[in-house]
């Protein structure tokens, strides 16, 4: 698998050099992952730089598998960035081609099983096909997409087990999630006993991991395979994680896919926010680094019918100040000691 990636990076470097780009794809990818959203799109896009509409259409000349997907997207960004009047990024390119997210989401193991297709190794699936067309957004579309991305919030109500993607006050997606258990646990990898409850607060997405490392924090063992809800074993899928920083703290509570959706709608994890594999792709592309995150613990929610529902107090926080500051500090320290930055570690 590593050999395939190395070969594809070599191809991407050749493509980048032919475009006269200053950076190699790996470095470009790293910087894109770390760059926050701009404060203002006006500084990036001059008025009427190009006619409204797509700046260019690219027709794929070969199939792209998931294992090569990020390298391919990076090569397109590297090659085309200098030809556009604005900085092209992975997220901007894919948001201008939303069918890509749908294609990625459809590689979800359970969606594939609904179509009677068992997939042992998700990275082998073709996600972009020869003849597919990628549209590079024109300046007006890019400006609008950046404006919308700047006005997006990832909203999680912990006891409701619901994560929402909210754009300019409108809820675009509502996803079921699992959250941290109401207990403390010793994690050998972090060499500490930590509070597993998912911490509330306000912040933003500070990091993404496109090639995540799966480690059991209890043992330090690396996960390469997972047992599915149907009892079958598969290779761990390649799906990115995102990490929020909450109230200035990094608790290692990532938003990532679970390979066992039967655990959703429960307080089940070691602190991370688990979502369906398909949903993780939508969250990733609607929450680039810099996106605001609002994690809260509200027991009273208003339903679509206007009626108010009282949720179960899963953490016993009703009427109390939460979380305990010493618990939060211990969790943050544990996250620093974990190579992946994630203290959840569970793949069930």
pLDDT of residue 29: 35
Distance CA 324, CA 31 (A): 35
From 126, 148, 170, give the residue that closes a domain: 148
Question: Does 228 lie in the same domain as 130?
Answer: no
pLDDT of residue 303: 86
* pLDDT band (50, 70, 90) for residue 140: very high
Mean pLDDT of the chain: 83
Residues 193-216, mean pLDDT to the nearest whole number? 92
Give residue 216's domain range: 151-337
- In the chain, what are the helix, strand and coil shares in percent, each to the nearest 5? 30, 25, 45
Q: What is the pLDDT of residues 280-327, one digit of tens each?
A: 999 999 999 999 999 999 999 998 888 999 999 999 998 776 666 656
**Out of 22-31, 47-56, 214-223, 257-266, which region has the weakest mean confidence (pLDDT)?**
22-31
pLDDT of residue 281: 99
Q: What is the pLDDT of residues 164-191, one digit of tens each?
A: 999 999 999 999 999 999 999 887 766 7
Q: In the chain, how long is the greatest CA-to-CA distance?
A: 62
Question: Does 222 lie in the same domain as 162?
Answer: yes
Q: Are 16 and 72 in contact (CB under 8 A)?
A: no
Question: Does 259 lie in the same domain as 125?
Answer: no
Question: Does 199 lie in the same domain as 104?
Answer: no
CATH number for the domain spanning 293: value is: 2.40.440.10
Q: What is the pLDDT of residues 57-75, one digit of tens each?
A: 999 999 999 999 999 999 9
Better pLDDT: 48 or 297: 297
Question: Does 155 lie in the same domain as 139?
Answer: no
Question: Does 155 lie in the same domain as 144?
Answer: no
Better pLDDT: 84 or 2: 84
Quick check: 34 pLDDT over 80? no
pLDDT of residue 55: 75
Question: Does 236 lie in the same domain as 187?
Answer: yes
Q: Is 120 exposed, middle or buried (0-12, 13-18, 19+ CB in 10 A)?
A: exposed
Q: What is the pLDDT of residues 96-119, one digit of tens each?
A: 999 999 999 999 999 999 999 999
pLDDT of residue 301: 95
pLDDT of residue 50: 39
Question: Does 158 lie in the same domain as 137?
Answer: no
pLDDT of residue 326: 59
CA-CA distances (angstroms) from residue 316 to 34, 266, 301, 322? 36, 15, 17, 10
Q: What is the pLDDT of residues 150-165, one digit of tens each?
A: 999 999 999 999 999 9
Instruction: Report the interhelical angle of 25-34 vs 2-19 (nearest 10°).
Output: 90
Question: Does 251 lie in the same domain as 204?
Answer: yes
Residues 217-223, mean pLDDT to the nearest whole number? 74
pLDDT of residue 121: 98
Residues 29-53, mean pLDDT to the nearest whole number? 39
From 121, 148, 175, give the residue that closes a domain: 148
CA-CA distances (angstroms) from residue 179 to 47, 54, 276, 299, 310? 45, 41, 13, 15, 18
Q: Are 333 and 188 in contact (CB under 8 A)?
A: no
Question: Does 137 lie in the same domain as 61?
Answer: yes
Quick check: 339 pLDDT over 50? yes
Tell me if residue 241 falls in helix, strand or coil. strand
Quick check: 10 pLDDT over 90? no
Q: How many domains does the chain have?
A: 2
Residues 25-42, mean pLDDT to the nearest whole number? 37
Residues 227-254, mean pLDDT to the nearest whole number? 95
CA-nearest of 287, 13, 95 to 273 is 287
Question: Does 194 lie in the same domain as 239?
Answer: yes
């Amino acid at each position: 698998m590593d050999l395939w990636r190395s070969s594809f990076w070599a191809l991407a470097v050749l493509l980048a050099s032919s475009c006269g780009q200053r950076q190699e794809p790996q470095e470009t990818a790293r910087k894109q992952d770390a760059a926050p959203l701009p404060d203002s799109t006006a500084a990036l896009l001059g008025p009427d730089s190009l006619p409204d509409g797509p700046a260019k259409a690219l027709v794929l000349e070969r199939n792209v598998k998931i294992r090569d997907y990020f390298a391919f997207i990076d090569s397109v960004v590297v090659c085309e960035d200098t030809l556009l009047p604005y900085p092209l990024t992975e997220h901007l390119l894919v948001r201008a081609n939303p069918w890509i997210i749908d294609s990625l989401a459809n590689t979800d193991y359970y969606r594939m099983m609904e179509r009677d297709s068992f997939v042992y190794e998700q990275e082998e699936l073709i996600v972009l096909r020869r003849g597919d067309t990628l549209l590079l957004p024109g300046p007006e579309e890019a400006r609008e997409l950046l404006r919308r991305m700047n006005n997006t919030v990832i909203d999680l109500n912990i006891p409701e087990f619901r994560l929402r993607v909210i754009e300019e006050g409108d809820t675009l997606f509502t996803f079921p999630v699992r959250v941290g258990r109401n207990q403390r646990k010793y994690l050998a990898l972090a060499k500490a006993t930590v509070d597993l409850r998912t911490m509330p607060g306000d912040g933003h997405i500070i990091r993404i991991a496109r090639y995540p490392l799966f480690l059991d924090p209890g043992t330090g063992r690396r996960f390469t395979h997972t047992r599915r809800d149907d009892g079958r074993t598969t290779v761990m899928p390649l799906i990115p994680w995102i990490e929020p920083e909450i109230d200035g703290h990094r608790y290692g509570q990532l938003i990532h896919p679970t390979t066992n959706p039967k655990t959703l709608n429960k307080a089940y994890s070691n602190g991370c926010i688990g979502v369906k594999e398909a949903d993780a792709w939508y969250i990733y592309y609607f929450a680039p680094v810099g996106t605001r995150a609002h994690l809260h613990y509200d027991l009273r929610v208003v339903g679509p019918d206007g009626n108010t529902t009282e949720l179960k107090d899963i953490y016993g926080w009703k009427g109390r100040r939460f979380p305990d500051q010493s618990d939060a500090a211990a969790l943050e320290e544990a996250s620093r000691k974990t190579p992946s930055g994630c203290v959840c570690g569970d793949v069930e």
